[in-house]
Structure formats: C-alpha cells, structure tokens
Amino acid sequence: MDRRALFKSAFMAGPSFLAAVFRPDAEAVASTSDTVPRVAYHLSDLDKAAFVLGNIRNHFDGVGGPGNVRVALVVHGPALRAFRLDGGNEAITQAFEALRDNGVAYHACGNTMRGMKISLDDLLPGFEVADKGGVVKLAELQADGWLYLRP
C-alpha cells in the first residue's frame, strides 16, 4: 500500500483511529514534562571559547536561570587550551567558574588530553574526562536525549 492509500484509509477510519495512532504515550509526555531541557554544547575552536561561555550564560538568562536547564560543555581539540590552569585568560577563568558553580558539567576529550600530554590537574577544576573522546561523549549525550548546540 502506498502512502496516499494508507493516509486515505486512516482518514476514512475516522478521528478515533487517528487519535489512537497519533496520541503521544502518556508516560513519555509525563517523563519529559517533569524534567528541564538538557543541552550539550560542543566546543573545539580555541577562538570561540569566550563566545561559547557567553552563549551558555545567555542561555541561563534566557530561560530564567540555571535551574531551568541542564548544560554540558564538551571540549576537544585546540579549545582545550583555553581551560588550562596556566592559560592566563582571567575572563575565561571567571566565566568558567561562574558557570561551573551554576551546574554546567564540563567534559574534556580524553584523546585531546593524551595528544596534548595533559591531565585533569592541568585543567581548571571541574572537568571530567570523556575517556572515549569528545565526539563519542556528544553522541552519548544526544542518544540520551540531550539537545546539541555548536555555536
């Protein structure tokens, strides 16, 4: 049966059939309405570090505060340099700490860390290692229902 014939059959069956077919599952609706949105930000470009931290701050402001959204920032590639303890960029350090204190979960790519020969001790406090890699972590978050943003 082609799509037109299927649609015509469903239409002819009446509204009760359509409501049964297209009605969202009550449990699925309840589980999503009881939680706040979860958003994973992706950062790999060193020159965008301050910009992305500003986006996250604006995201919090736009939804009425950090209690109304969960945010994870996954950092890999050259961008990880912006978060080294010896990085020296006070504005990035302050923005990082303020967002961390508001619940942002920071994930550092394990592959990048190995390539740069750095450990968690070399990064600003608050990072977790994404052992399988930053892109794998992003895929896992998305598979778990997190929205994806790459500013």
Q: What is the pTM for the complete model shown? A: 0.77
The secondary structure of residue 123, as a DSSP letter, is B
CATH 3.40.1260.10, the chain: domain bounds:
36-149
Q: What is the overall mean pLDDT for the chain?
A: 85
Q: What is the pLDDT of residue 87?
A: 76
Q: What is the average pLDDT across 105-115?
A: 98
CA angle 23, 24, 29 (to 5 degrees): 145
Number of other residues whose CB lies within 10 A of the CB of residue 121: 7
Report whether pLDDT(91) > 90: yes
CATH of 36-149, one of 3.40.50.1360, 3.40.1260.10, 3.40.50.2020, 3.20.20.450: 3.40.1260.10
Q: What is the average pLDDT across 109-135?
A: 97
